[in-house]
């Protein structure tokens, strides 16, 4: 697979793309190590990274896996009355339990991802508040059963090929893209210090252990050990969020697929290698696979949906819903083609 080039990127230079790929491999890697592997100075890596953060092109954040805490995860589609969807999307984006919000179907549909720490919290939003809202005409809620793309050890493949195999190995590139999450038999219990540490990591995934310790009331050494334990147990992973527009992907869409049950794993795993796919998960409901794609333009979306994805064995039907506006991405507010400003880490 050919990697992105300068011509492919609207705001990034080749060195920026190489740095982004290095961070995908290890989001908390030191700038000195990145510089050594890429043949750049530590100062150059740090300067380019901080510039991308200030520009809203990238955020490195800690993302909690709700399943390890016994939380449910749902993907919800709301069909709204004309003229009311934008206000509904804005209200949902303000909620801490809503991590992803998009306005689609020419502004008449809101799609959002929600995680609930309790059945009561889930039922309050999905069973009471939204169904009773005057703006809502229809609600479809699908539980997320398995995530193929997006999340722990599943990179956005658009940056594949930016580095040489030797550079990837030197940076510690993870092996199989199908690496499974740890199996959690019992929900993890978080302490007050854990909650504070995770909150600080959600603001800046590259925060130093000194800063994480100060935020959580722990010594740097204890913060280091606790973070490693939370990562190893699958409670949290550090993710690199990138605006698709920065790489020239300007057309987004939600795809709702009906796949033969025997082929769901095969189709889901095939999406891991597709640069256009930013998220893919098996879900409940009339469609059993939800895929979020970003393409360079509408023509590319057509070719992707009718050919590379739509042509896979097992795909029976596909509904394509173009995204009019993205309001939230992995818990980060989105303003146009910019991620909400975060404090750059060191």
Backbone angles phi, psi at 337, to 5 degrees: -110, 25
Helices and strands (DSSP H and E) totals, the chain: 12, 12
C-alpha distance across the termini of the chain, in Å: 31
Are 162 and 236 contained in the same domain?
yes
Residue matched to tokens 């697979």: 1
Are 316 and 195 contained in the same domain?
no
Can you give the pLDDT at residue 152?
57
Assign residue 318 the CATH number of its domain.
3.30.70.920
Are 137 and 167 contained in the same domain?
no
Are 190 and 73 in contact, with CB atoms under 8 Å apart?
Answer: no
Are 52 and 169 contained in the same domain?
yes
Query: Mean pLDDT of residues grouped by 10 in the chain (346 residues)?
Result: 46 91 93 97 97 92 86 91 93 91 88 83 84 92 90 69 93 56 68 95 95 96 95 90 89 96 96 91 96 95 96 96 92 87 47
DSSP, res 180: P
Are 72 and 123 contained in the same domain?
yes
Query: Could you tell me where the DSSP H helices lie in 26-77?
Result: 31-38, 42-54
Are 159 and 299 contained in the same domain?
no
Are 308 and 163 contained in the same domain?
no
Per the structure, the count of domains in the chain is 3
Distances (CA, A) of 88 to 23, 116, 131: 35, 19, 12
Distances (CA, A) of 181 to 69, 234, 235, 284: 14, 7, 10, 20
Are 238 and 160 contained in the same domain?
yes
> pLDDT digit string (tens) for 249-299?
999 999 999 999 999 999 999 998 898 999 999 999 999 999 999 999 999
Domain range enclosing 205: 6-59+155-173+188-242
Q: What is the C-alpha separation between 209 and 207, in angstroms, rounded?
A: 7
Are 238 and 255 contained in the same domain?
no
Contacts of 83 (CB under 8 A, 6+ apart): none
Read off the pTM. 0.84
DSSP, res 285: S
């Amino acid at each position: 697979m050919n990697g992105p080039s300068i011509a492919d990127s609207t705001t990034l230079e080749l060195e920026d793309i190489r740095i982004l790929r290095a961070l995908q491999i290890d989001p908390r890697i030191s700038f000195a190590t990145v510089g050594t592997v890429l043949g750049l100075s530590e100062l150059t890596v740090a300067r380019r990274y901080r510039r991308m953060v200030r520009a809203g092109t990238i955020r490195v954040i800690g993302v909690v896996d709700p399943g390890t805490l016994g939380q449910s995860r749902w993907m919800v589609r709301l069909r709204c009355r004309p003229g009311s969807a934008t206000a509904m999307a804005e209200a949902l984006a303000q909620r801490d339990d809503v991590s992803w919000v998009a306005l689609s179907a020419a502004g008449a549909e809101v799609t959002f991802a929600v995680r609930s720490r309790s059945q009561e919290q889930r039922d309050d939003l999905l069973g009471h508040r939204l169904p009773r809202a005057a703006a809502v005409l229809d609600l479809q809620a699908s539980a997320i059963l398995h995530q193929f793309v997006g999340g722990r050890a599943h990179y956005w493949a658009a940056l594949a090929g930016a580095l040489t195999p030797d550079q990837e190995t030197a940076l510690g590139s993870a092996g199989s893209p199908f690496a499974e999450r740890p199996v959690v038999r019992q929900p993890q219990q978080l302490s007050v210090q854990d909650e504070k540490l995770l909150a600080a990591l959600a603001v800046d995934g590259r925060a130093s252990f000194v800063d994480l310790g100060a935020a959580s009331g722990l010594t740097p050494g204890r913060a280091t050990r606790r973070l490693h334990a939370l990562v190893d147990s699958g409670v949290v992973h550090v993710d690199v969020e990138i605006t698709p527009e920065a790489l020239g992907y300007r057309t987004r869409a939600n795809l709702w697929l009906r796949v033969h049950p025997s082929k769901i794993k095969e189709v889901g795993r095939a999406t891991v290698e597709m640069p256009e796919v930013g998220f893919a998960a098996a879900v409940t409901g009339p469609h059993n696979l939800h895929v979020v794609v970003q393409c360079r333009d509408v023509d590319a979306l057509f070719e992707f949906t009718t050919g590379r994805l739509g042509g896979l064995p097992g795909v029976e039907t596909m509904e394509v819903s173009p995204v009019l506006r993205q309001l939230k991405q992995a818990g980060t507010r989105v303003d146009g083609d910019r991620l909400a400003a975060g404090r750059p880490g060191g």
